[in-house]
Structure 1
Amino acid sequence: MSARPQHTRPNVGQWLGYAVLGRKLPDSMQDWVRRDLVGPGATPRHILRSMIPFLPIFIGFFVLFPGAIWLRASMVLLALLLALFYTAAYMDQNRARRLEIHGLPADLKSEKKTAELERERENYRRNH
């Protein structure tokens, strides 16, 4: 019979370990990791993935604290804004760490970003 096909995408358990705990995926999924971290839509994916560990905190703020709903919703909104700020601020470092864990170059850029940097270098050479 045929051999079992290689997984190109992580299953739910692997994805949760990768997204929430920062675990390494099998080497057979390096292409998926590369696309996830530097491919199209990597920034929104990173932000959404980084919000998952905060969900229990947001739910706890809303459910466990006494007070009016608007007050509890304001606490959740403040926590969400703070989490988004730090997620965006440390996105490059987090991406580099994930790339290194999976055996990829830490400074790996998307094809679009590489082309943009090359255009900037060419413009600089032409002007100076």
Structure 2
Amino acid sequence: MTERTTPTFTQRIGYICGRTLPPSMSDWVRDDLTGPGATRRYLTRFLLPIVPVLCIFLLVPGPKWVGLGMMALLYLPLVYFTIALLYVYRRHRLIKHGLDPELADSDARARNESDRLDYERRHGR
């Protein structure tokens, strides 16, 4: 029997909660953390599950804006810090799965390389 290269449902839930997947799924992990849509998946995994919990503030007596304001006071910093820690999270997960942490910013390095080559082409260096 060959080893799985993609996680099962329970493995995926464990992965989302922070567990490490087997080495046979390293390509899947790399694509999940650095491939197309990685930032969208990261933000979805961190920001959506908290919304139902924050909806409890809508049960506070009084005008609805009070509950919405309390939700915003908690949710906006969460969004800010989730975005700010994206790079740190990616590096941590790559290291945890035994992958090269330099993959965390491979898209930025590719953009910089493209800009450098364009500059050299235009200015003859």
Change (3 A) 1:111 1:82: closer
User: Quick check: 1:19–1:50 contact (8 Å CA) kept in 2?
Assistant: no
Q: In structure 1, what is the equivalent of residue 16 of structure 2? A: 19
Q: Is the 8 Å Cα contact of residues 87 and 105 (structure 2) preserved in structure 1?
A: no
- Counterpart-to-counterpart distance in 1, 2:52 and 2:96: 26
Letter in 2 for 1:70: W
Higher mean Cα deviation, 10-19 or 111-120?
111-120
Contact 1:18 1:24 in 2 (8 A): yes
Aligned to 2:25: 29
- Number of the residue aligned with 1:58: 54
Matched, 1:77 2:72: yes
Q: CA deviation at 1:75?
A: 1.9
**2:43 alignment counterpart:** 47
Letter matched to residue 18 of structure 1: Y
Whole-angstrom distance in 1 between the partners of 2:111 and 2:81 = 26
Residue identity in the other structure for 1:6: E
Q: Which is worse superposed, 76-85 or 46-55?
A: 46-55
TM-score of the aligned structures, taking structure 2 as reference length: 0.77
Matched residue count = 123
CA-CA distance at 1:109 after TM superposition: 4.7
State the Cα distance separating 1:74 from its structure 2 match: 2.6
Q: TM-score, normalised by structure 1?
A: 0.76
Listed as ranges, the gaps of 5+ residues in structure 2 are none
Letter in 2 for 1:67: G
